[in-house]
Amino acid sequence: MNEPIVDNKYFDGQCVYANVNPGEKLIIRRYYKRIYYCRAVDGSDKEYAFFEREISKSI
């Protein structure tokens, strides 16, 4: 049976920061086709989409 290819650096539920707005803490909701879908920790309904190079684990 084929194993799924795991090419992502960050995982669902992990806290990250966007390089364009490092003051806002984000939680990764989903990784799909090399795009990370994130939501702000503050509970807003706004969703963001980033490539791996656009986010980081620390400020």
**Tokens standing for 43?**
């509970």
What are the extents of the domains in the chain?
A: 15-56
Res 58: pLDDT: 80
Tell me: the pLDDT tens digits for 2-59?
Answer: 666 677 899 999 999 999 999 999 999 999 999 999 999 988 889 999 999 999 998 6
Residue 1 confidence (pLDDT) above 90: no
What ranges in 1-59 are assigned the alpha helix state H? none
* pLDDT on residue 8: 86
Query: What are the CA-CA distances from residue 35 to residues 1, 21, 51, 56 (Å)?
Result: 26, 18, 5, 14
Q: What is the pLDDT of residue 5?
A: 61
> Could you tell me if 38 and 28 are in contact, meaning their C-beta atoms sit under 8 angstroms apart?
yes
